[in-house]
């Protein structure tokens, strides 16, 4: 178990969720490993937004007003660097898993939806494959509007640097 009390969400962050482990608030799945942190999920995502001169609440509002994504809004932290997360449930739910779909290479459905990430790690998620796919689609709509179309095609096909 690796402990990273002050983790900053970045390009290598694949997912994060509530820890359910004494003394820790979140489990962070990174391409380099899995970390336990004393930061809450809200704190992780809000601090990533604050580093980019906005807040989680502002991102949620933009998602609701501009894209009509009022429930389970995707949060685009930095479109150019591919730092964005989709929630599996309401952002206020303790059971929400936040996923960066950019790192997902496959989704299986047997018996529960399980994600396989670029580094070979797997994570069982608490939503249907249909919900996951819909969330990915919603995030892509927002990403497309953050980035000029020609750059969007380049970034969509850019291989991930997982060193």
Q: Write the secondary structure of the chain as one string of H (helix), E (strand) and C (coil).
A: CEECCCCCCCCCEEEEEEEEECCEEEEEEECCEEEEECCCHHHHHHHHHHCCCCCHHHHHHHHHHHHCCCCCCCEEEECCCCEEEEECCCCCCCCCEEECHHHEEEEECCCCCEEEECCCCEEECCCCHHHHHHHHHHHHHHHHHHCCHHHHHHHHHCCCCCC
pLDDT band at 160; cut points 50, 70, 90: low
Which tens digits make up the pLDDT trace of 9-63?
999 999 999 998 889 999 999 999 999 999 999 999 999 999 999 999 999 999 9
Residue 155 has pLDDT above 80, yes or no: no
pLDDT, position 76? 94
pLDDT band at 148; cut points 50, 70, 90: low
pLDDT, position 30? 97
pLDDT, position 145? 79
Which tens digits make up the pLDDT trace of 69-114?
999 999 999 988 889 999 999 999 999 999 999 999 999 987 889 9
Inter-helix orientation angle 149-157/129-146, to 10°: 130
Residue 128 has pLDDT above 60, yes or no: yes
pLDDT, position 80? 83
């Amino acid at each position: 178990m690796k402990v990273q009390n002050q983790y900053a969400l970045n390009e290598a962050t694949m997912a994060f969720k509530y820890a359910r482990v004494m003394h820790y608030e979140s489990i962070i799945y990174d391409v380099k490993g899995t970390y336990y942190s004393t930061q809450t999920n809200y704190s992780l995502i809000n601090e990533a937004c604050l580093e980019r001169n906005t807040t989680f609440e502002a991102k949620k509002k933009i998602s609701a007003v501009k894209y009509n994504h009022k429930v389970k809004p995707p949060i685009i932290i930095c479109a150019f660097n591919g730092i964005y997360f989709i929630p599996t449930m309401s952002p206020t739910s303790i059971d929400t898993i936040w996923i960066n779909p950019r790192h997902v290479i496959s989704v299986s459905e047997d018996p529960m939806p399980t994600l396989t990430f670029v580094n070979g790690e797997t994570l069982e998620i608490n939503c249907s494959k249909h919900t996951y796919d819909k969330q990915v689609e919603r995030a892509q709509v927002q990403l497309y509007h953050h980035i000029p179309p020609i750059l969007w095609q380049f970034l969509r096909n850019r291989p991930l640097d997982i060193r």
